Amino acid sequence: MNRKRTAEFAGSVAFGAWAAFAVLALVVTGRHGTPLGPDRTLLAWSLGHRPDVAVAVARGVTATGTGIVPYALVTAAGVAVGRTRRQRLVAALLGAGCLALGQAARSSVMELIARARPPQADWQTSASGWSFPSGHTTTAALAAGLVILAIRARGPRGRTPWCLAVACWGLAVGATRVFLGVHWCTDVIGGWLFANGWLGVCACAAARWVPDRWVPHDAPERPVATP
């Protein structure tokens, strides 16, 4: 792994995500939280497409975006990516720390913007606090991103399907927040952008400052004897 190149790429991702998030946040605050056209359209669509089975599935998926599940996934990914006991401990702690600090930063931004949620009469699950950016969406996207980074760092064969499955879970949690009527779609987009920005910052910092002995490396290939 080229740590300098990794840090530069992560920094570029963070800059792009934060820039897009800042623009979206300015639009939301400039309208004093009033929903945009897509917000109203998608909420209206969800109100007309809520069979009981779909609502039950959405509630189950959305429940995985908070609480112990994201931390369990991140901790398991950290344990799996390390090759020594120290590497496993460091990876698990760094992942959990990135997730916890990201949640705290997102909460601060949410309080600062103070956007109201959709009308409570349209909710199909419980919710609390302000609306932008979505907390479940941000948490699930952070956890999914950390797990994907662990899968790619470990480099198992057939990693692409696993990465896609984890990414789909992270996206699905965000989609359920709109479907269940507790967030506007721009809240969810804001959560995805915030998570990508935060992951980029954390990945850049880890690539630059985590000691090399704590970073797992691929096992060297055995030399092939030639006749």
Residue 219 is predicted with a pLDDT of 43
Per the CB < 8 A criterion, the answer to whether 33 and 116 are in contact is: yes
pLDDT recorded at residue 109: 96
C-alpha to C-alpha distance for 115 and 203, rounded to whole angstroms: 30
Q: To which residue do tokens 């290939």 refer?
A: 221
Q: Can you give the pLDDT of all 227 residues of the chain as single tens digits? A: 567 888 888 899 999 999 999 999 999 999 998 999 999 999 999 999 999 999 999 999 999 999 999 999 999 999 988 878 888 898 899 999 999 999 999 999 999 999 999 999 999 999 999 999 999 999 999 999 999 988 888 766 778 888 999 999 999 999 999 999 999 999 999 999 999 999 999 999 888 877 665 555 544 444 444 43
pLDDT value of position 7: 85
Q: What pLDDT was estimated at residue 96?
A: 95
Quick check: 98 and 202 in contact, CB under 8 A?
Answer: yes
CA atoms within a 13 Å half-sphere pointing along the CA-CB vector of 45: 12
Instruction: Give the pLDDT score at 2.
Output: 67
